[in-house]
Chains A and B, each alone.
Chain A
Amino acid sequence: MNVIFVLVVASLLVALGFLAAFLWAVKSGQFEDGYTPSVRMLFEDRKKSKQQNTIDNQQEREHDDAK
Chain B
Amino acid sequence: MPEPTVTQKTPHLESEAPVCFHCGEECSDHDILLDGKHFCCMGCKTVYDLLSSKEMCTYYDLSENSPGISPRSDDGSVKYGYLDDPDIIRQITDFKDGATLRATFSIPSMHCASCIWLLENLHDLQPGVRASRVDFLKKQLTVTWDEEQLSLRMLVEVLATIGYEPQIRLEDIQRGTEKKTQKSLIMRVGVAGFAFGNIMLLSFPEYLATNGDVEAFLRTLFRWLNLILAIPVVFYSAQPYWSSAFKGLRAKTVNLDVPITLGVSALFGWSLYEVLSGIGPGYFDSLAGLIFLLLVGRVFQEKTYAAFSFERDYSSYFPLSATLLEGTGREKSVPVTQLKPGSRIVVRNQELIPADSVLINGTGSIDYGFVTGESDPMLKASGDLIYAGGRQVGPAIELEVVEEVSRSHLVRLWNQDAFTQDREGRYTALANRISKYFTAAILLLATGAFALWAPHGIGTAVKVFTAVLIVACPCALALATPFTLGTAMRLLGRFGFYLKNAEVVERLAAIGTIAFDKTGTLTAAGSSQAEWEGEALSERERSLVRSVVRHSTHPLSVKIHTQLAEEPLMDTGQVEEVPGHGLLGEIEEHVVRIGSAPWVGADADHPVALQSDGTSQSVAWVSIDGEVLGRFRVSNLIRPGLEEVIHDLREEHDLVLISGDTDRDRTTLEPLFGREALHFQQSPHDKLAFIEQRQANDDHVLMVGDGLNDAGALRAASVGIAVTEDVTSFSPACDALLDAESLRRMRKILTFSQRAVRVIAACFALSFAYNLVGLTFAAAGKLSPLVSAILMPLSSITIVIVATGLTTLVARTTLGKPEAGR
Interface residue ranges, A against B (CB under 8 Å): 1, 4-5, 8, 11-12, 15-16, 18-19, 22-23, 26-27, 31-36, 38-40, 42-44, 46, 50
Of the residues A22, A36, A46, contact of B58 by C-beta under 8 Å: A46
Tell me the bound Cα distance from A42 to B218 in angstroms: 51
A36 contacts B136, CB within 8 Å? yes
Q: List residues of chain A with CB within 8 A of the CB of B124.
A: 46
Q: List residues of chain A with CB within 8 A of the CB of B134.
A: 36, 40
Known: A23-B190, A35-B4. A8 touches B137 (CB 8 A): no
Query: Which residue of chain B has the shortest Cβ distance to A36 in the bound complex?
Result: B136
B138 contacts A33, CB within 8 Å? yes
Closest CB pairs A-B (n = 7): A35-B4, A36-B136, A19-B194, A33-B135, A22-B190, A39-B113, A35-B137
B137 contacts A33, CB within 8 Å? yes
The answer to whether the Cβ of B46 comes within 8 Å of any Cβ in the partner chain is no
Q: How far is the CB of B688 from chain A (nearest CB, A)?
A: 37
B225 contacts A36, CB within 8 Å? no
Query: Which residue of chain B has the shortest Cβ distance to A19 in the bound complex?
Result: B194
Q: List residues of chain B with CB within 8 A of the CB of A16.
A: 194
Q: How far is the CB of A49 from chain B (nearest CB, A)?
A: 9
Q: How far is the CB of A11 from chain B (nearest CB, A)?
A: 8
A46 contacts B191, CB within 8 Å? no
Of the residues A8, A42, A46, contact of B221 by C-beta under 8 Å: A8
Tell me the bound Cα distance from A38 to B134 in angstroms: 12
Q: List residues of chain A with CB within 8 A of the CB of B135.
A: 32-33, 36
For B38-60 the 0/1 string (1 means CB < 8 A from A) is 00000000000000000110100
Of the residues A15, A27, A43, A44, contact of B183 by C-beta under 8 Å: A27
Q: List residues of chain A with CB within 8 A of the CB of B221.
A: 5, 8
For B128-145 the 0/1 string (1 means CB < 8 A from A) is 000001111110000000
A12 contacts B113, CB within 8 Å? no
Q: List residues of chain B with CB within 8 A of the CB of A34.
A: 4, 137
Q: List residues of chain A with CB within 8 A of the CB of B376.
A: none
Tell me the bound Cα distance from A31 to B4 in angstroms: 15
B137 contacts A15, CB within 8 Å? no
Which of B16-24, B114-122, B441-449 has 4 or more CB atoms under 8 Å from chain A? B114-122
B183 contacts A40, CB within 8 Å? no
For B1-16 the 0/1 string (1 means CB < 8 A from A) is 0001010000000000
Query: Which residue of chain B has the shortest Cβ distance to A21 in the bound complex?
Result: B190
B225 contacts A8, CB within 8 Å? yes
The answer to whether the Cβ of B186 comes within 8 Å of any Cβ in the partner chain is yes
Tell me the bound Cα distance from A44 to B116 in angstroms: 13
Tell me the bound Cα distance from A8 to B117 in angstroms: 48
Interface positions of B from 144 to 201, Cβ below 8 Å from A: 179, 183, 186-187, 190-191, 194, 197-198, 201
Query: Which residue of chain B has the shortest Cβ distance to A47 in the bound complex?
Result: B124
The answer to whether the Cβ of B29 comes within 8 Å of any Cβ in the partner chain is no
For B55-76 the 0/1 string (1 means CB < 8 A from A) is 1101000100000000000000
Known: A35-B136, A43-B117. A26 touches B187 (CB 8 A): yes
Q: How far is the CB of B230 from chain A (nearest CB, A)?
A: 14
Most buried by B among A12, A39, A43: A39
A40 contacts B120, CB within 8 Å? yes
B194 contacts A39, CB within 8 Å? no
Q: How far is the CB of A8 from chain B (nearest CB, A)?
A: 7
Query: Which residue of chain B has the shortest Cβ distance to A33 in the bound complex?
Result: B135
Tell me the bound Cα distance from A16 to B190 in angstroms: 11
Tell me the bound Cα distance from A36 to B201 in angstroms: 37
Known: A35-B136, A35-B137. A1 touches B215 (CB 8 A): yes
Question: A16-B194, A39-B113 are known contacts; what are 8 more A-B pairs with Cβ within 8 Å?
Answer: A1-B215, A8-B202, A27-B187, A33-B136, A36-B134, A39-B136, A46-B55, A46-B58
For B448-467 the 0/1 string (1 means CB < 8 A from A) is 00000000000000000000
B138 contacts A26, CB within 8 Å? no
Most buried by B among A26, A34, A38: A26
Q: How far is the CB of B232 from chain A (nearest CB, A)?
A: 10
Interface positions of B from 193 to 251, Cβ below 8 Å from A: 194, 197-198, 201-202, 215, 218, 221-222, 225
Tell me the bound Cα distance from A31 to B180 in angstroms: 12
A15 contacts B198, CB within 8 Å? yes
Tell me the bound Cα distance from A40 to B115 in angstroms: 11
Query: Which residue of chain B has the shortest Cβ distance to A15 in the bound complex?
Result: B198
Query: Which residue of chain B has the shortest Cβ distance to A16 in the bound complex?
Result: B194
Tell me the bound Cα distance from A18 to B120 in angstroms: 31
B225 contacts A15, CB within 8 Å? no
A42 contacts B113, CB within 8 Å? yes
Tell me the bound Cα distance from A26 to B55 in angstroms: 37
Contact sample, A vs B, 8 pairs, CB 8 Å cutoff: A31-B183, A35-B4, A35-B137, A36-B134, A43-B116, A44-B58, A46-B55, A46-B56
Tell me the bound Cα distance from A40 to B117 in angstroms: 7
Q: List residues of chain A with CB within 8 A of the CB of B197.
A: 15
Q: List residues of chain B with CB within 8 A of the CB of A8.
A: 202, 221-222, 225
Query: Which residue of chain A has the shortest Cβ distance to B184 in the bound complex?
Result: A26
For B635-646 the 0/1 string (1 means CB < 8 A from A) is 000000000000
Tell me the bound Cα distance from A22 to B197 in angstroms: 15
Q: How far is the CB of A48 from chain B (nearest CB, A)?
A: 13
Q: List residues of chain B with CB within 8 A of the CB of A40.
A: 116, 120, 134
B121 contacts A46, CB within 8 Å? yes
A19 contacts B191, CB within 8 Å? yes
Tell me the bound Cα distance from A30 to B472 in angstroms: 38
Q: List residues of chain A with CB within 8 A of the CB of B113.
A: 39, 42
Query: Which residue of chain B has the shortest Cβ distance to A42 in the bound complex?
Result: B113
Q: List residues of chain A with CB within 8 A of the CB of B4.
A: 34-35, 38
Tell me the bound Cα distance from A43 to B135 in angstroms: 16
B183 contacts A1, CB within 8 Å? no
Q: How far is the CB of A2 from chain B (nearest CB, A)?
A: 10
Tell me the bound Cα distance from A19 to B120 in angstroms: 31
Tell me the bound Cα distance from A34 to B56 in angstroms: 26
Tell me the bound Cα distance from A30 to B56 in angstroms: 28
Known: A15-B197, A40-B120, A46-B58. A32 touches B190 (CB 8 A): no
Tell me the bound Cα distance from A1 to B120 in angstroms: 57
Q: How far is the CB of B180 from chain A (nearest CB, A)?
A: 11
Query: Which residue of chain A has the shortest Cβ distance to B4 in the bound complex?
Result: A35
Tell me the bound Cα distance from A4 to B225 in angstroms: 14
Tell me the bound Cα distance from A1 to B213 in angstroms: 12
Query: Which residue of chain A has the shortest Cβ distance to B5 in the bound complex?
Result: A35
Q: How far is the CB of B643 from chain A (nearest CB, A)?
A: 39
Q: How far is the CB of B64 from chain A (nearest CB, A)?
A: 14
B215 contacts A36, CB within 8 Å? no
Query: Which residue of chain A has the shortest Cβ distance to B135 in the bound complex?
Result: A33
B116 contacts A12, CB within 8 Å? no
A36 contacts B116, CB within 8 Å? yes
Q: List residues of chain A with CB within 8 A of the CB of B183.
A: 26-27, 31-32
Q: How far is the CB of B141 from chain A (nearest CB, A)?
A: 11
Q: How far is the CB of A40 from chain B (nearest CB, A)?
A: 7
Of the residues A32, A36, A43, A44, contact of B179 by C-beta under 8 Å: A32
A12 contacts B186, CB within 8 Å? no
B218 contacts A36, CB within 8 Å? no
Tell me the bound Cα distance from A5 to B137 in angstroms: 48
B190 contacts A19, CB within 8 Å? yes
Q: List residues of chain A with CB within 8 A of the CB of B55.
A: 46, 50
A12 contacts B225, CB within 8 Å? yes
A23 contacts B215, CB within 8 Å? no
For B369-385 the 0/1 string (1 means CB < 8 A from A) is 00000000000000000
Q: How far is the CB of A59 from chain B (nearest CB, A)?
A: 22
Q: How far is the CB of B2 from chain A (nearest CB, A)?
A: 10
Q: How far is the CB of A34 from chain B (nearest CB, A)?
A: 8
Q: List residues of chain B with CB within 8 A of the CB of A26.
A: 183, 186-187, 190
Query: Which residue of chain A has the shortest Cβ distance to B112 in the bound complex?
Result: A39
Q: List residues of chain A with CB within 8 A of the CB of B117.
A: 43
Q: How far is the CB of A14 from chain B (nearest CB, A)?
A: 10
Q: How far is the CB of A32 from chain B (nearest CB, A)?
A: 7
Tell me the bound Cα distance from A22 to B191 in angstroms: 9
Q: List residues of chain A with CB within 8 A of the CB of B215.
A: 1
